[in-house]
Homo-oligomer: A and B are copies of this chain.
Amino acid sequence: MELGVGGSNPPCCTKTMVKEKKLKPELASGFTDRKGNELILKDRLIEIIKRNFQLYGFEPLETPGFEISENIGKFLPDEDRPMSGVFGFKDDKNWMSLRYDLTAPLARYFAANENLISKPFKRYQVGTVWRNEKPGPGRFREFIQLDADIVGTKNVSADAEMCVLLADTLNKCGLDKSEYVIKVSNRKLIQGVLEDCKITNESKKITVIRAADKLYRLGIEGVKELLGKGRKDKSGDFTKGAGLTDNQIMGIINFLKIDEISKPVNVAEELVSIIEALSPSLTYKEGMNELSQVFELTKLSKFSDQIIFSPSVVRGIEYYTGTIFEANLLFKVRNKKGEQVEFGSVGGGGRYDDLVSRFTKSTYPATGVSIGLDRLLYAISQKKDKKIKENNPVVICVFDKKKMPEYNKLLSLLRSSNINSEIYCGDGNLKAQMKYADKRNAPAVILYGDNEIKAGVVTIKNLKIGKKVSTEVKTREDWTSSSTTQATVEVKDLVNEIKKII
């Protein structure tokens, strides 16, 4: 067992240390805080996506953050990278790891409940995953995935359903059909090309696939380097290449390049010419045949134009065996420097027929989709039409603590009408209370002083149109004289007046 604090090895915050010096409130490297409207939008996206997964007949599952290490194995795309990997602990009995995706735990769950659950098993899961990778700008070691999978069938209609589900989900999240495509291919295509190129070593095959997966980010030249001797990145880190011959490299590159000449190809018949042109391999032909069946089905959906063939999609994860796909945004987004950049994938998935049989005697072919929530959230939050409902509270000012019963009456009126609201709970005077309301972007503040209480009225200050004024206020008199954004109404009209403002 390892103890981060409280054990004997690591540094620990003791009373003495606190007295000596203050702690620095830093984040651990590769992690971030999130707040405010971003989280409100995030919750809404999760709700939309979950609802759509249910609509498609998936049931919820939740597996724990930790799994026994050998059970989830390691099929990450980036294990060639320095510092890559998972977070692991030695327990009394086993090595445990924080999950790096939701698919490997699903295989474990399915196997453990093999005889109890309906097959095909359709489940969705929303969960945090962790990767112990080298952190970088925008590259976090903790993120949320939303997955839907079907385990226990090799039926191609399950693959087609995944592509349609992904297209429909993005649409329901607020993306217009013109703003994204689902690029579909089949792992057997590149496997066939590997056969053609006489690349037979399993580990070399994976190196090639991972290199090809980086086409979008590194371009043709970068992939060529990774297929050959290797590549040095901007930071100076060197990634060893697959060591292919020039002819082998050309074979792979020619395959990846079809994308440029064949787009858009989303009608099954058009695939035939490409099949014949490119590879004599049986594996390749099998892949093209499956693809053709997938497109027969996806063209029946509302998203026939969004779901397109793209051979350059190879997916870096090792366990895929058939249909593979990725969702790509067609609009550019701004990065932190304000530059317009291509965004890349917000989700993807594919068929993995051998993952469950690591545990079971029977084989359980499976297929699934995973949506990267943080990336999707970032892209969608850049769209101007995504307005978030005002969530900040109306603030009732405190003139006199003895009048708390009166303030509470107003509070009850507001809250029972489902209006976010609070009595100021700090220790400041009226000026401080105004500043507080302003800083919180409160839609309104409520003044209920002695005069108002006697007269049965309440004064409402609309901060939405009076933001500037409120910060200059020092006294009650200042406030009433300086503003045209106030209204004094009868207590019984309070709720309606506030509703007009928010």
Residue numbers in B under 8 Å from A26 (CB-CB): 68, 71, 112
Known contacts A55-B418, A88-B7, A118-B440; decide if A155 and B32 are in contact (CB<8 Å).
no
Q: Closest residue to A367 on the B side, CB-wise?
A: B425
Q: Closest residue to A108 on the B side, CB-wise?
A: B25
Give A423 to B110 CA distance when docked, in angstroms: 22
Q: Closest residue to A87 on the B side, CB-wise?
A: B89
CB A494 to nearest CB in B, in angstroms, measures 16
Q: List 22 A-B contacts (CB under 8 A).
A: A4-B95, A6-B84, A6-B86, A11-B95, A12-B70, A15-B202, A25-B71, A25-B109, A25-B110, A25-B111, A27-B64, A33-B62, A35-B60, A39-B62, A55-B421, A57-B393, A65-B65, A118-B436, A120-B426, A157-B404, A300-B408, A302-B412
Residue numbers in B under 8 Å from A423 (CB-CB): 157, 161
The yes or no answer to A122 lying at the interface (CB within 8 A) is yes
Please tell me if the beta carbons of A56 and B422 are within 8 angstroms of each other in the complex: yes
Please tell me if the beta carbons of A28 and B67 are within 8 angstroms of each other in the complex: yes
Identify the interface centre among A25, A70, A72: most chain B CB within 10 Å of its CB: A25
Q: Which of A75-99 contact B (CB under 8 A)?
A: 79, 83-98
Please tell me if the beta carbons of A425 and B155 are within 8 angstroms of each other in the complex: yes
At the interface with chain B, which of A250-258, A278-286, A357-365?
Answer: A357-365
Q: Which of A382-410 contact B (CB under 8 A)?
A: 391-393, 395, 401, 404-405, 408
The yes or no answer to A263 lying at the interface (CB within 8 A) is no
The yes or no answer to A233 lying at the interface (CB within 8 A) is no
Q: Closest residue to A11 on the B side, CB-wise?
A: B70
Contact of A5 among B6, B70, B421, B439 (CB under 8 A): B70
Please tell me if the beta carbons of B89 and A62 are within 8 angstroms of each other in the complex: no
The yes or no answer to A332 lying at the interface (CB within 8 A) is no
**Interface positions of A (Cβ within 8 A of B):** 1-7, 10-13, 15, 17-18, 22-29, 31-36, 39-40, 43, 47, 50, 54-57, 59-74, 79, 83-98, 107-112, 117-120, 122-123, 128, 130, 132, 141-142, 150, 152-155, 157-158, 161, 202, 296-297, 300-302, 358-361, 391-393, 395, 401, 404-405, 408, 412, 415, 418-423, 425-427, 436, 439-440
Q: Closest residue to A107 on the B side, CB-wise?
A: B25
Residue numbers in B under 8 Å from A360 (CB-CB): 22
Contact of A64 among B7, B25, B32, B108 (CB under 8 A): B32
Give A161 to B25 CA distance when docked, in angstroms: 28
Residue numbers in B under 8 Å from A87 (CB-CB): 2, 4, 89
Known contacts A86-B5, A111-B25; decide if A13 and B358 are in contact (CB<8 Å).
yes
Residue numbers in B under 8 Å from A412 (CB-CB): 302
